[in-house]
Amino acid sequence: MTDRTRFLFRKSAGRGGVCFVCLVLAFSFSACADNASISSPSAKVEFFAMNTLMSIEVRGAEAEAAVAAGRDEVYRLERLLSRTDPKSEVSAINTAAGSEWTEVSEETFSLIQTALLYSEETEGAFDITIAPVMDLWGFSSGEHRVPDDAEIGSVLERIGYEHLLLDETGFRVKLENPGMSMDLGAVAKGYAGDRVKEIIKQFDFETALINLGGNVTVIGRKPNGDLLRVAITDPENRQQYLGVLGSEDTHVITSGGYERFFEQDGKVYIHIMDPETARPAQSDLLSVSVIDSNGVRSDILSTALFVMGREEAIRYWSGHRDLGLVMAKVDGEVLVSKNLLGTFRVTEGKSVTYFDGE
């Protein structure tokens, strides 16, 4: 044994050094095994589906596979639920309106069932049989026009969710009257958000950002641990934002008249229809954003609460306090449900009211 080694074993200070070196050696071995975790791969797909632009972005070991599977799922749902695709199950139901029952997949059936439940809960503010009204005003074709009172009167007879019949024993659906038509457009993107989220969760991933035409779904956090930041468009000035939401594992879905509208004789006609009047909703709101862990619910309620207007929307929220709600009023005020305090940051200079029930 040399002087030096003897020194190492004798003096406690030296022993500390040895421990330190051993510790470091142990780390250096494990470090070689795991180099990939330092920078995870990421992948993004952007595509057109359901009549809008969609993007799916995933970070994690299986990012490539996850985004591809997510996109395929959206395409599958589009084939199943599109009103314009003559081969879809929804088209089959519409073709048989007023005559016979249509047998559909369990998936389509339960989605329609959910939609009807919300129609009842919102007292008809949300209605998937509104399609003939959309057609009448030209929002389906893009050739907008203002119909006369006689046309409105006749179309009112061809809508109403209570005339959409379900037969649970055989997954059969029927539209009671001829000329009726259903459209799952106001649920399909929300449902797609739920499904894509489920699909991505089957893969090895860290963060996912799903944007289905302005319906945003986020899962996980940024590599540095920050929350993902979802901005909500200011309906008065689409260049600006109402505010920014820091979110993790949630859907942020917005409905607003500003998204699609036309002007005639100085009057603005928006694309969100009030099933009661068969005319564009006369809402005192410009937009409603719903923040929730359930995409279908967010999608449906963003439309329904918009149609209901401020007072009824707040009343609805009082009974469903787990929802996050951001609403822009026509006078520019931003209404935010109290449970979003600290999560949603309103743009500086905007007047904001946090509501806590009626």
Partner 1 sequence: MTENDRPGLRFGFRDLVLIIALAMIGVIPFAVMHNMRGAEKSARTVAVLTIAGDEVWRCAIDDGMDPVEYSADIDGEIFTVIADSTGARVNHSDCPDKICVETGTISKAGQTVVCVPFRAVLRIEYADDDPELTDVGDAIDAISG
Partner 2 sequence: MKNRTAKLTAWGVMTALSLVLTVAEAMIIPAGLFPIPGFRLGLSNIVILISVYLFGAIPSVGIVLLRTLAVFAFGGNLSAFLFSLCGGLLAVFAMLVLRQTKLFSLFGVSAGGAAAHSIGQISAGAFLTGSARLFLYLPFLLWASIAAGLLIALLSVPIYRALDAFFKAPGSE
**With CB under 8 A as the contact rule, which of the stretches 127-135, 152-160, 179-187, 224-232 interacts with partner 1?**
224-232
Compare residues 35 and 169 and give the one whose CB is closer to partner 2. 35
Q: What are phi and psi of 60, to 5 degrees?
A: 150, 175
Residues that bind partner 2 (CB under 8 A): 2-5, 7-8, 11, 13-14, 16-17, 20, 24, 27-28, 30-31, 34-35, 37-39, 221, 223-226
The span from the CA of 48 to the CA of 213, in Å, is 9
Given candidates 253, 273, 307, 313, which one binds partner 1 under the rule CB under 8 A? 253
What ranges in 122-263 are assigned the alpha helix state H? 131-136, 149-156, 185-200
The span from the CA of 301 to the CA of 186, in Å, is 10
Compare residues 39 and 169 and give the one whose CB is closer to partner 2. 39
* Count of residues engaged in binding partner 1, rule: CB under 8 A: 39
Given candidates 19, 53, 268, 341, which one binds partner 1 under the rule CB under 8 A? 53
The span from the CA of 58 to the CA of 242, in Å, is 26
**With CB under 8 A as the contact rule, which of the stretches 92-100, 105-113, 208-216, 274-282 interacts with partner 1?**
208-216
CB of 295 to partner 1, least distance (A): 12
Compare residues 153 and 223 and give the one whose CB is closer to partner 2. 223
- Torsion sign (Cα): 328, 332, 338, 341: positive
Closest-CA residue to 133 (of 148, 161, 155): 155
Given candidates 107, 152, 214, 293, which one binds partner 1 under the rule CB under 8 A? 214
What ranges in 237-353 are assigned the alpha helix state H? 295-308, 310-319
Given candidates 97, 209, 314, 346, which one binds partner 1 under the rule CB under 8 A? 209
Q: What is the amino acid identity at position 351?
A: S
Site string for partner 1, 130-159 (x = CB under 8 A): -----------xxx----------------
- Cα–Cα distances (Å) from 107 to 15, 72, 113, in that order, read 67, 16, 10
- Classify each residue of 73-92 as buried b or exposed e, where b means 16 or more C-beta atoms within 10 Å of its C-beta: bbeebbebbbbeeeebbbbe
Compare residues 109 and 205 and give the one whose CB is closer to partner 2. 205
By CB under 8 A, name the binding residues for partner 1: 46-48, 51-53, 141-143, 209, 211, 213-216, 218, 222, 224, 226, 228-233, 235, 238-239, 241, 244, 252-254, 256, 259-261, 287, 289
